[in-house]
Structure 1
Amino acid sequence: MNTYLLAFLAFLPILVAMFLLVGLGWGARQAMPVGYVVVFIVGIVIWKMSLTTVLAATIQGLWIAATLLWIIFGALLLLATLKHSGAIATIRAGFMKISPDRRIQAIIVGFLFGSFIEGASGFGTPAAIVGPLLLALGFPAFAAVIVGMVTQSMPVTFGAVGTPILVGVNTGLTGAAVVEAHAKSLGLTWPQYLASIGARAGIFHAIIGFVMPLIICMMLTRFFGKNKSWKEGLEVWPFALFAGIVFAIPYVLLANFVGPEFPSMISGLLAVGITSFAASKGFLQPKKVWDFPPEKEWEPGWMGTVSGDPGQVRANMSLIKAWIPYVLVGLFLLLTRMNPGLKGALTKITINHLNILGTSISHKWEWVYSPGAVISFVAIITWLLYQMKGEEIKAALKESSGQLVNASTALIFTVPMVRIFIMSNLNNSGLESMPILLARAVADAVGGAWPAFAAVIGALGAMIAGSNTISNMTFSLFQWSVADFIGVSQRLVVAIQAVGGAAGNMICVHNAVAAAAVVGMIGKEGLILRRTFLPTIYYLAAVGIYGMIAIYVLGLQ
């Protein structure tokens, strides 16, 4: 069968799902079962996967969905706990004192605080935490989700303490003799070689990503403002670019001189402190405060089923005390990922499913190490810290559990579809896996212009798999090989892959479902992805242009 026809068939399940989600505006609960059926048929009929293998991949997908739901539950429980304790009302009042301007709040709470959470935890956690917090600050649910989703761009390559590089790229390239020989020829150890790829990705991100806070502001005013104006978002450009630069400078320095573990986490934390202080002093603040229209004028599609009402401020609830749970989330995530002894102890507690249905497909769930466990643990601590009453705790549990059910119906088809797609290398046809075959077809079509398109493959991998780490794991060797074949810098092309994989998180169905769930917008994932396609297109076009310049004009290696 013709290679391009096979590539089209490999892409068909994704194409169908995205058409239903974005083109027709279906919810994930309706669209993803159709995508699952398509990949099921293509896998068995074209790739000649056995029924047992397809079912094993499906079961693996269901377990992975459970791991995502565990994170979502933690975020929902913490939000409900803070709401019923009165802490959210206090936090909202505090941010209003820093700046009542919604654009400034989106930058500090959404992009910068979200970047810190991404750096510490990753795996979609920022959208699950930032969305509810913005909702409680008075943002429409739709706007809160958009901010949380777009935040998952620049910080993602160094998310989860550098996992996309240290695990994704590392696993993707390890064992390839030609790559290891190349590293030695440069006089680099393997950890140094990996770090050099991360350093290049960091420079790419800084050059094209420091404008993301401004893009977030422009999207807010255009899609959720009374005047539907891009210009009102541009009015905050001095502070938005200041915030982007404050984040980008330590980000690049850490990526180049320390390693992949810290750029997003430390830069996010530093930037939150600096910009909060600057905003409170009126530094670079816009002359006119921007806010959403009165709630009674909001469009029905802006609202979710989770109430944004922060409740009443408790008389004894100081701003510092109200923030303690979020501080604990960041602290515990940091400790569990940076302390080798604690990390080792937690990762030993697993739920294992080895050789599912007698195949080579397995799954290991480190459920205690998961961000979901950390966030849930903080929620329980919060019950004690705030001396919450039994009825308040019960209300928080009931509210969070109810929202979790809505999220589960979408994920139980989304993740299995992805797993069949990725595990399609286990077949009787002799074909490569669907994602690899699809990538090769694209590379064959564009030749020397590959650096302009490499990020698209990374984004496609992240969109499908729900993870920059998995995208890098799947495509790093392929990207390296294409670069070697066309005679350009292999490390730069793999770095472009990592940047593209980060951008793909903005249009990842998994993340859209998770973000929608925590603000009560299940069923509107297609509408969310329509909006997040805009910044994704910018990111991929920008990294493609800069990649071509870096390689063919500047001659960087």
Structure 2
Amino acid sequence: MTSLRAWMPYALVALILIVIKVDWLPFQDWVARTEVAVSSLFGTDIEISSVILDIPGMTLIAVSIICIWLHQLSFIQYWSAVKTSFKTVSGAIIALLFSVPLVQVFINTDVNLSGLESMPLTMANWLANFTGDLYPLFAPIVGALGAFVAGSNTVSNMMFSLFQFGVADELMMSPLIIVALQAVGGAAGNLICVHNVVAASAAAGISGKEGTFIRRMMIPLAYYLLFAGGLGMIAIHGSGIGTAILGVVALFIIAMIIIGQKKKQELDGLHYNKVNTFHQ
């Protein structure tokens, strides 16, 4: 198989995902007609809807079928690939089946007889009151928390963007910058998002190591959030503590690079000694 043919499925996925979003093409209307909606879920005011053909998984399935012709596969070969893929992700299916509904319950906890706000907004509201003028440093953390719990930067923004805007307005800060920090934090939160970690671990064949993976990703996540928060502090308050935070982050990164190089040299030396011992 040529490299071009091997890369074609990925190119098709990207192309389809873009084409169905372009306004002046007819595909967007076709996709919209596949919407399925349910109102008054379990007797509540919650409404849910899904556009079937707009689900990325449907695009992946469609491209996989195209690959039967593209890669000249027999039905037996295609079915074997389907079984192998299903076996790979089967370990993640159970976790995802339970985590997705729990996320929806978490998001919609504002539907209660006491008139209380939802759990995410209550948590973020406490953080805003606690931090005050330092809030730009914590705004990305709120976004990361939303992505970690909800499993998506998009859902994180849906949960917290309005709240971030309100907090910025209350603290007399630029809503544009605070909401931007929310989006940056949401993107960073994908590093430790349970959905992503479970799915990626299953795809890589390392299921059962999700806890270790999340703990190790906390280090780059901390760098990411501190760096974004430092930039936010500079943008809101000017130089000072924001510059100091960026300096600390830079020192941490330099220290980690030095430690990593030292460890690499130690491993290389150990490997060299083993090779010499083997030859002797």
User: Could you tell me the TM-score, scaled by structure 1's length?
Assistant: 0.41
Aligned position for 1:417? 102
Aligned position for 1:365? 50
Is the 1:480–1:494 Cα contact (8 Å) retained in structure 2?
A: yes
Aligned equivalent of 2:168, options 469, 483, 490: 483
Aligned equivalent of 1:544, options 229, 251, 257: 229
Is the 2:89–2:199 Cα contact (8 Å) retained in structure 1?
A: no
Query: Partner letter of residue 445 of structure 1?
Result: F
Aligned position for 1:529? 214
Looking at structure 1, the residues matched to 162 and 38 of structure 2 have their Cα atoms a distance apart, in angstroms, of: 28
**TM superposition shift of 1:416:** 1.9
Per-residue CA deviation, residues 528-547 of structure 1 (Å, 9 max, x unaligned), is 21122111111110111111
Per-residue CA deviation, residues 355-378 of structure 1 (Å, 9 max, x unaligned), is 222212232222222111111111
User: Could you tell me the TM-score, scaled by structure 2's length?
Assistant: 0.80
Aligned position for 1:446? 131
Deviates more, 1:400-409 or 1:445-454: 400-409
Looking at structure 2, the residues matched to 350 and 477 of structure 1 have their Cα atoms a distance apart, in angstroms, of: 26
Query: Partner letter of residue 12 of structure 2?
Result: L
Matched, 1:329 2:3: no
**TM superposition shift of 1:496:** 0.9
Sort the Cα spacing of 1:497 and 1:416 in 2 relative to 1 into closer, same or farther, 3 A.
same
Aligned position for 2:111? 426
Per-residue CA deviation, residues 318-343 of structure 1 (Å, 9 max, x unaligned), is 22222222221121122122255212
Looking at structure 2, the residues matched to 488 and 401 of structure 1 have their Cα atoms a distance apart, in angstroms, of: 49
Aligned position for 1:456? 141
Query: Partner letter of residue 381 of structure 1?
Result: I
Sort the Cα spacing of 1:343 and 1:462 in 2 relative to 1 into closer, same or farther, 3 A.
same
Matched, 1:505 2:190: yes
Which structure is larger by alpha-carbon Rg, 1 or 2?
A: 2
> 5 Å matches for 1:263-274?
none
Per-residue CA deviation, residues 198-242 of structure 1 (Å, 9 max, x unaligned), is xxxxxxxxxxxxxxxxxxxxxxxxxxxxxxxxxxxxxxxxxxxxx
Q: Could you tell me the percent identity over the aligned residues?
A: 44
**TM superposition shift of 1:409:** 0.6
Whose RCO is larger (CA < 8 A, sep 6+)?
Answer: 1
Structure 2 unaligned segments of length 5 or more: list them: 240-280
Query: Partner letter of residue 429 of structure 1?
Result: S
Is the 1:343–1:369 Cα contact (8 Å) retained in structure 2?
A: no
Query: Partner letter of residue 326 of structure 1?
Result: Y
Is the 1:353–1:362 Cα contact (8 Å) retained in structure 2?
A: yes
Per-residue CA deviation, residues 154-174 of structure 1 (Å, 9 max, x unaligned), is xxxxxxxxxxxxxxxxxxxxx
**TM superposition shift of 1:344:** 2.1
Looking at structure 2, the residues matched to 322 and 498 of structure 1 have their Cα atoms a distance apart, in angstroms, of: 34
- Any runs of at least 4 consecutive aligned residues in structure 1 with deviations exceeding 4 A, and if so which? none
Deviates more, 1:435-444 or 1:485-494: 485-494
Q: How many pairs align? A: 239
Looking at structure 1, the residues matched to 45 and 88 of structure 2 have their Cα atoms a distance apart, in angstroms, of: 35
Per-residue CA deviation, residues 239-266 of structure 1 (Å, 9 max, x unaligned), is xxxxxxxxxxxxxxxxxxxxxxxxxxxx
> 5 Å matches for 1:138-537?
317-339=1-23, 340-537=25-222
Looking at structure 1, the residues matched to 111 and 39 of structure 2 have their Cα atoms a distance apart, in angstroms, of: 16
**TM superposition shift of 1:522:** 2.8
Is the 1:459–1:500 Cα contact (8 Å) retained in structure 2?
A: yes
Q: Tell me the secondary structure at the aligned position of residue 338 of structure 1.
A: coil
**TM superposition shift of 1:441:** 0.7
Looking at structure 1, the residues matched to 179 and 189 of structure 2 have their Cα atoms a distance apart, in angstroms, of: 15
Sort the Cα spacing of 1:522 and 1:367 in 2 relative to 1 into closer, same or farther, 3 A.
farther
**TM superposition shift of 1:354:** 2.4
Query: Partner letter of residue 164 of structure 2?
Result: Q
Looking at structure 2, the residues matched to 414 and 376 of structure 1 have their Cα atoms a distance apart, in angstroms, of: 23
Looking at structure 1, the residues matched to 192 and 16 of structure 2 have their Cα atoms a distance apart, in angstroms, of: 29
